Amino acid sequence: MAIGFLGAIVVGALLLALPISKAGPGGASWNEALFTAVSSVSITGLTVTDTSTYWTGFGQVVIIVLVQLGGLGIMTFATFVGLLVVRKISLSARLTSATENRSLGITDAKSIIRAVVALSFLIEAVVAIVLALQFGIAYGRQPLEAIWLGVFHSISAFNNAGFSLFDPSMTQFVSDPVINFALAGATILGGLGFPVLMQLRKHLWTPRLWSMNTRLVLAISGALLVAGWLFITAIEWANPRTLGGLDPWSRILAGFFQSVQTRTSGFNTVDIGAMQDETLFGMSVLMFIGGGPAGTSGGIKVTTFGVLFFILLAEIRGDTAVNVFGKRLSRAVHREAITVVLLAVAFVAASTVALLIMTGDSLTPVLFEAVSAFATTGLSTGITPTLDWPAQMLLCLLMIVGRIGTITLASSLALRTRTIMYQYPKERPVIG
């Protein structure tokens, strides 16, 4: 899986380095091409160039194709192509695709892959039509341009990438409910994860058949979305550089939109760099948590956060087992969640310290940028284009680890078992 993602990054960087990809004379530098390719395949959205003016139409097509590949999953896409061409799938491809999509088994890999691709294209098509009509009717764009804008931003939104053909991002549409809700809807659906979407497709009106994973993702995602909406709107309400200059309805809409996008998609309708430090820290927490597993979102995933929450709740209550929505949680999941979170915290913390040493910037924007890269969110305070090459490469590493590191780590922890023929005697250290 890692080799597949790295291969797509290299191919994408080579294509973006071609003169045909860059507007104006000459081609993009290798640093610019590589950073953009990594950001696209990892569906992050951080940029060191202006997507709308720096890249030609060909370069923009390369970027959005890489985003689509990264969102679907390199292995899922490769297996889907194999099914179309030879109409069969090898055991190794089944295993890899099942791991990438978090399916419960490999016997249904073919149907799952087809369903994932079909559902992705269906959602993207619907959102693209809505956006194209709005761009054409409300903003007077020519039909072909409106269609291209609709398709590009629909794919970018559903895959939680946040690449935009407007500068800066979607700020000129801060008061447009159609564009805001269309992009937010696509972002939310992509961030739920394919296992949840597949189950909702079959059992949308029968919640009793939902799995623990689906219940956790929907409950935690909804709670974080509302909490983020209230938090961002309240803190930024009187800030004249963000929400303060808008009418009350636009402030509420912008707060909602930014709460959605903070869940690992990088669109913004207000200036992120002008936000209060308190807001940036709160958004960093939301980005770190991320969205649902086996989808287009990043972060440690809401299920990991939910598991830790219920472990904490059980400890406070003094329960002997951790129960989640009427089901007992496996102890193996406790260890997996704690391991993923601690390693993620360690990696982000070490990278933040390294970036502070490299750049000399203050903590808040550097931490925000590091978390945004790791969580594959793409929101930026504006310092990424100003960073020197080593710092940008560190962000590239964060994006790669954030996209495939959590998948491979969680899968390896779940699949790895060690039989020990003996046990040490128990003893308890003093906690607290």
Q: List per-residue pLDDT tens for the chain, 432 residues long.
A: 778 888 999 999 999 999 999 998 889 999 999 999 999 999 999 999 999 999 999 999 999 999 998 888 765 665 555 555 545 555 455 555 555 555 544 445 667 777 888 889 999 999 999 999 999 999 999 999 999 999 999 999 999 999 999 988 999 999 999 999 999 999 999 999 888 888 888 888 898 888 888 999 999 999 999 999 999 999 999 999 999 999 999 999 999 999 999 988 889 999 999 999 999 999 999 999 999 887 788 899 999 999 999 999 999 998 888 999 888 888 878 888 888 899 899 999 999 999 999 998 999 999 999 999 999 999 999 999 999 999 999 999 999 888 887 666 656 655 566 667 777 888 878 877
Amino acid at position 42, single letter: S
Cα gap 75→83, rounded to integer Å: 12
327 forms beta bridges with 324
Amino acid at position 341, single letter: V
- Token pair in block for residue 312: 């904490």
pLDDT of residue 104: 44
Q: Are 60 and 155 in contact (CB under 8 A)?
A: no
Closest C-alpha to 32, from 20, 58, 14, 44: 14
Burial of 312 (0-12, 13-18, 19+ CB in 10 A): exposed
Cα gap 360→288, rounded to integer Å: 23
Residues in Cβ contact with 188 at an 8 Å cutoff, skipping those fewer than 6 apart: 221, 225, 260, 263
Whole-structure pTM value: 0.89
- Token pair in block for residue 175: 């008061």
Cα gap 198→216, rounded to integer Å: 15
What phi and psi, each to the nearest 5 degrees, are found at residue 379?
-70, 145
Q: What is the DSSP string of 80-130?
A: HHHHHHHS---HHHHHHHHHHHT-S-STTHHHHHHHHHHHHHHHHHHHHHH
For residue 210, the SS3 value is coil
pLDDT of residue 304: 92
Closest C-alpha to 166, from 147, 152, 186, 184: 152
- Token pair in block for residue 290: 């991320």
Q: Are 190 and 153 in contact (CB under 8 A)?
A: no
